[in-house]
Amino acid sequence: MEVAFRGVVGVADAGDITSPVQQLLDEVHARIGQITDGRVATYIPPLGKADPSLFGLALATRDGHVYEAGDTGVPFTIQSVSKPFVYALALHDRGLNTVLRKVGVEPTGEGFDAIRLEAGTGRPLNPMVNAGAIVVGSLVDGGDWGRRFQRILDGLSAFAGRDLSIDHEVLASEERTGDHNRAIGYLLRNAGTLDGSVDEAVKVYFMACSTLVTARDLAVMAMTLSSGGVNPLTGRRVVGTDTTEHVMAVMATSGTYDFAGEWLLRSGLPAKSGVAGGLVAVLPSQLGIGVFSPPLDRRGTSVRAIAACQELSLRFGLHLMRPVTGTMSAIHRYLRGDAVSSRRSRRFAEREILRLGGRAIALCELQGDLGFASTDIAVRAITGDHDGVRWLILDLHRVVRAEPVAVNLLDALVRELREHGVTMVVSAVDGRSPLASAEAAFASLDEALEWCEDALVAETLLAETGPAAEADRAEAVPLPEQDVLRDLPADMLDVLTPLFAERRLAPGEVLFDVRDEPDESLYFVISGGLVAQVMQGEPAEPVQVASMGPGTAVTKLTLRRDDPRTYRIVADEPTVCQVLTGAALKRLEADRPQVVEALHWAMARSLAARLRRADQLLAAHVASAPRSGTPPRD
Ligand code: GLN
């Protein structure tokens, strides 16, 4: 039976596959969006005009990917979310000790606008409340207030990775209604903490608060802090890693004012909120979150932002105090089926199908510690390269530990892939898959590959030649269609055929083993299948090292008698072989030497074809160097 191969059938849906992270973000956004509690701030009148239904949720990763749900592109004033970033700039410009002499780092246990300075020193308690932020702004480099503010705007822009601007209406309104902040300024100057003009210091503070950002900007700014000061989009370093450590520590203890303790306990994410409804949250070295939703709780923090962060933390296992899991790519290797194949010996037609259509099989070997960040990178690599993939093998043998969030993301990926016509199978230690949704689980990568190859072969044959051919394939490959014999001239085949003897094997029956005398006998698999096994381990158990399907041949000459391990060829299922014994070959050699010679050449050709294939696989294999995540650009 000849197969005219015309390409893989039923090509996978090439439409975009939604990352499970995006799906979860959308889900969280939809659910939290239903919350209608809270009130939009009105003490700065233009803020009162904000649409309370706006809600944007963005999540930036270490390698610069930004997931977005809802109104992530709507600009609003950053307000107090500027405080940790301006603090970072002051620390960068003046050093920790100078800044510490002016502004403390103890939680206030009071609101953002508390009028309270530390007894004895006259310092504001921390830089996350207005008093601290007014002093911090005055510490940033620049000879006068104008240049100082330009330095702040440039710094905030560097954190965001784009040029930011000011909302002049909000700025004018803050100045008009800013007596409370001015009062704080006078108190600071009276205590000797603030040098120079109160009006100018407060003006710089108001300008920083009036900077326009989006939820997407906030996610990138947060990720820049989280990654130690390098913007994940531009690759530019904004501040040093020591500085970001200090800033995130203060965000953890004071970022949410008098709610900081419970906030850190529940969400585990250092954060900072603002009265326009913005919020940043960070998970050091893993991700940055930006949220925008105007209605606030009585403390001045966005109600939906709090709920969204707590839910994301819970769903993704993001707590700061969780043991650290991998932050780089979890992908050890990603290959397509044209660069790797199982150890099954296949006849010509099947090999052709796999050679031409092998890219329909993808193999992804994961490794290490699977947490949110590492799994996210792996999942994106898979969803980003699914063109033409119909079967995906996820190999978990190198995975040391998987957080529940990793299992959830991978399970969601299985379901999403299935919708796009991709079947996912798992290979894992002892065939135990943690993924409930996977189609099948195997103890070895080889078995998983063989399974996918069988599926590809079966589907292709079914489509190319109809159900009869597929059934025929499963049944038998008669002698004239055997790999070795198919090119032999008909008259020679006529001489050979009567010399064959049939041999039937039950499943598990041994065809021959290492104790046999090697001879030249040839065994052609007509139907069923054989496997080559070695005995390994204590107690010894058979391990499959190769398998041979219908159309392929084995010889006892492959036995290695110097190999101390027991090596044997066993029937995998009810199997029929045609045997040309060594004795029969010897007799033929005497009668018709040219037939034996032709047979030897046919065997050599078949072997050479296999070696060529092995060589191609090796070359493709070497070309596919292990992938890793994008290293941080310092
Ligand atoms: N500009 C606002 C103020 O000083 C910022 C307050 C805030 O966002 N918590 O009142």
**Interval 307-345: pLDDT, tens:** 999 999 998 888 988 877 777 778 998 999 888 888 887
- Choice among 21-35, 111-125, 613-627 with the minimum mean pLDDT: 613-627
Binding-site residues, ligand 1, Cβ < 6 A:
79-80, 112-113, 130, 174, 181, 209, 274-275, 300
Per-residue confidence (pLDDT) for residue 426, from 0 to 100: 96
Tokens of residue 21, six digits: 């992270």
Residue 151 lies in a domain: yes
**Element of type H or E holding 449:** helix 445-475
Per-residue confidence (pLDDT) for residue 111, from 0 to 100: 77
Residues 136 and 255 placed together within one structural domain of the fold: yes
| Confidence at 531, pLDDT banded by 50, 70, 90 | confident
In sequence order, what are the residues at sequence separation of 6 or more whose Cβ sits closer than 8 angstroms to the Cβ of residue 473? 1, 457, 458, 461, 550
Give the domain-ending residue among 282, 316, 350. Answer: 316
Chain centre to alpha carbon of residue 152: 35
Share of the chain above pLDDT 70, in %: 91
Tell me which residues are annotated as active site.
80, 83, 205, 257, 275
Residue 564 lies in a domain: yes
Q: Which one, of 325, 299, 442, 323, lies nearest residue 378 by Cα?
A: 325
Residues 113 and 252 placed together within one structural domain of the fold: yes
Residues 280 and 403 placed together within one structural domain of the fold: no
In sequence order, what are the residues at sequence separation of 6 or more whose Cβ sits closer than 8 angstroms to the Cβ of residue 143? none
Per-residue confidence (pLDDT) for residue 632, from 0 to 100: 37
Query: Which of 87-96, 558-567, 583-592 has maximum average pLDDT?
Result: 87-96
Asked if 372 and 325 touch (Cβ cutoff 8 Å), the reply is yes
Higher-confidence position of 117 and 33: 33
| 569 burial type by CB count under 10 A (0-12 exposed, 13-18 middle, 19+ buried) | buried
Question: What ligand 1 atom has the least distance to the C-alpha of 81?
Answer: 8
Residues 219 and 95 placed together within one structural domain of the fold: yes
Pocket test for ligand 1, best of 76, 167, 174, 279 (most atoms within 8 A of CB): 174
Question: What ligand 1 atom has the least distance to the C-alpha of 79?
Answer: 8
The alpha carbon of 381 and the centre of ligand 1 are apart by a number of angstroms equal to: 41
Instruction: Determine the average pLDDT of the residues in 485-492.
Output: 88
Given a cut of 80, whether residue 469 has pLDDT beyond it is no
Residue 237 lies in a domain: yes
**Interval 126-144: pLDDT, tens:** 999 999 999 999 999 998 9
Residues 304 and 279 placed together within one structural domain of the fold: yes
We report the CATH number of the domain holding residue 292 as 3.40.710.10
Q: Which one, of 84, 217, 238, lies nearest residue 155 by Cα?
A: 238
Task: Answer left, alpha or beta for residue 257, where phi above 0 means left and psi between -120 and 50 means alpha.
Answer: left
Residue 378 lies in a domain: yes
Give alpha helix (H) positions in 81-191: 82-94, 96-102, 130-139, 145-160, 168-176, 179-190
Task: Answer left, alpha or beta for residue 431, where phi above 0 means left and psi between -120 and 50 means alpha.
Answer: left
Residues 365 and 397 placed together within one structural domain of the fold: yes
Per-residue confidence (pLDDT) for residue 15, from 0 to 100: 60
Residues 534 and 586 placed together within one structural domain of the fold: yes
| Confidence at 557, pLDDT banded by 50, 70, 90 | low
- Choice among 43-52, 55-64, 533-542 with the minimum mean pLDDT: 533-542
**Element of type H or E holding 522:** strand 522-527
Question: What ligand 1 atom has the least distance to the C-alpha of 274?
Answer: 8
Higher-confidence position of 617 and 603: 603
- Choice among 214-228, 333-347, 386-400, 444-458 with the minimum mean pLDDT: 333-347
Per-residue confidence (pLDDT) for residue 631, from 0 to 100: 37
Pocket test for ligand 1, best of 40, 78, 81, 113 (most atoms within 8 A of CB): 113
Residues 206 and 63 placed together within one structural domain of the fold: yes
Higher-confidence position of 558 and 6: 558
- Buried (b) or exposed (e) across 285-300, using 16+ Cβ within 10 A? bbbbbbbbbbbbeeeb
Pocket test for ligand 1, best of 85, 112, 298 (most atoms within 8 A of CB): 112
3-class secondary structure, 372: helix
Strand partners, 271: 281
Residue 622 lies in a domain: no
Residue 225 lies in a domain: yes
Give the domain-ending residue among 267, 283, 316. Answer: 316
- Choice among 94-103, 138-147, 308-317, 620-629 with the minimum mean pLDDT: 620-629
Give the domain-ending residue among 260, 294, 316. Answer: 316
SS (H, E, C) 146-157: HHHHHHHHHHHH
Phi and psi, residue 488, nearest 5°: -75, 140
Asked if 372 and 318 touch (Cβ cutoff 8 Å), the reply is yes
Question: What is the span of the domain harbouring residue 448?
Answer: 4-11+326-468
The alpha carbon of 115 and the centre of ligand 1 are apart by a number of angstroms equal to: 13
Residue 28 lies in a domain: no
Q: Which one, of 202, 203, 179, 178, lies nearest residue 189 by Cα?
A: 202
Residues 161 and 248 placed together within one structural domain of the fold: yes
We report the CATH number of the domain holding residue 450 as 3.30.750.24
Tokens of residue 116, six digits: 């309270």
Residue 624 lies in a domain: no
* DSSP structure class, residue 440: E
Given a cut of 90, whether residue 297 has pLDDT beyond it is yes
The alpha carbon of 130 and the centre of ligand 1 are apart by a number of angstroms equal to: 7
Q: Which one, of 517, 505, 548, 509, lies nearest residue 530 by Cα?
A: 548
3-class secondary structure, 59: strand
We report the CATH number of the domain holding residue 493 as 2.60.120.10
Asked if 433 and 444 touch (Cβ cutoff 8 Å), the reply is no
Residues 265 and 303 placed together within one structural domain of the fold: yes
Q: What is the mean pLDDT of the chain?
A: 88
Residues 114 and 172 placed together within one structural domain of the fold: yes
Residues 56 and 188 placed together within one structural domain of the fold: yes
Integer angstrom CA distances of residue 465 from 7, 67, 473, 503:
13, 45, 11, 30
**Interval 416-436: pLDDT, tens:** 999 999 999 999 988 888 898
**Interval 251-288: pLDDT, tens:** 999 998 788 888 999 999 999 999 999 999 999 989 99
| Domains held by the chain: number | 3
